Amino acid sequence: MATENIAEYIKHLNEIDKETNYIHSSLEEYIKSVEHEKPQLQRLEGDLIAPENSRTHTSMASTRVYQKKRNREEQNLVERYVEPISSMGGWIFGAEYPSNLIELEWKYIIKTMLMIVFVDVVPIESIDK
């Protein structure tokens, strides 16, 4: 999702947060920066669908995909909107960060995730190799 006036927003962030330098970059520039800062990181290439490189087993179907999708959407809402907007509310309006509510939301997300992922984990225990 593109943000209008990103340059002004970044300038404002740099004005109010003197400890961090915010920049507008690209994925390629970010990867180059990470490789420069952490050259010892292992580089994986290819499709990464072999079981030794993947957290999913290619011969098993996942269950409750609709629930996993909804759970991921909920995580994205909290990460991309609830937490940032709540933080900005403190910066801009002096509002108190609702840490108890956000923590409770994360607990619900994690609890739901564990319940729906466990269904897929149990059959994997019986797979050879």
Q: What is the mean pLDDT of the chain?
A: 79
pTM, 2 dp = 0.45
Cα gap 37→18, rounded to integer Å: 22
Phi, psi at 81, each rounded to 5° = -125, -55
What pLDDT, in 10s, does the model give residues 22-68?
888 888 898 899 889 888 888 777 766 555 555 555 555 566 777 88
Cα gap 69→57, rounded to integer Å: 18
